[in-house]
Amino acid sequence: MSWSIDVTGTKSAVVKKVTEQLDKIAANYEGKEEAKDVLAAKERILALVGAVDLEPAGAGEPPSPNAIQVKANGSHALTAKGIDGARMSINVTRTHLAID
């Protein structure tokens, strides 16, 4: 089992997309340990997104970040009796999107 997401946008858009995508992935594994891990990743990602600073830059500074990018993935290796191994990677960064 493996999953991945790559979402960029405003805080509110990222929260919505991350929630929708990871809830859908977790639903595919309902009742299994994999679902719990995906939901735990979602909660951690949302906490990090909420903590990201998107304050405007000062005069003369480069454009301030106005968006967030989330890249995350995880996988489980399974045996006949359960999980053999699991891994997860989460990357939450500030970014600037030029809006024309």
Conformational region of residue 14, where left means phi above 0, alpha means psi within -120 to 50, and beta covers everything else: alpha
With tokens 């995350």, the residue in question is 72
Say if 66 falls within a structural domain: yes
Q: Which residue segment(s) compose the domain that 41 sits in?
A: 2-95
How confident is the model over 37-60, as pLDDT tens digits? Answer: 999 999 999 999 999 988 776 666
Say if 100 falls within a structural domain: no
Residues 6+ apart with CB under 8 A from 19: 42, 46
Say if 81 falls within a structural domain: yes
pLDDT of residue 60: 61
**How many separate domains does the chain show?**
1
Tokens of residue 27, six digits: 């639903």
Distance CA 98, CA 22 (A): 27
Question: What CATH number is attached to the domain comprising 82?
Answer: 3.30.960
In the predicted structure, residue 80 carries a pLDDT above the cut 90 = no
Higher-confidence position of 82 and 29: 29
Say if 30 falls within a structural domain: yes
pLDDT of residue 53: 85
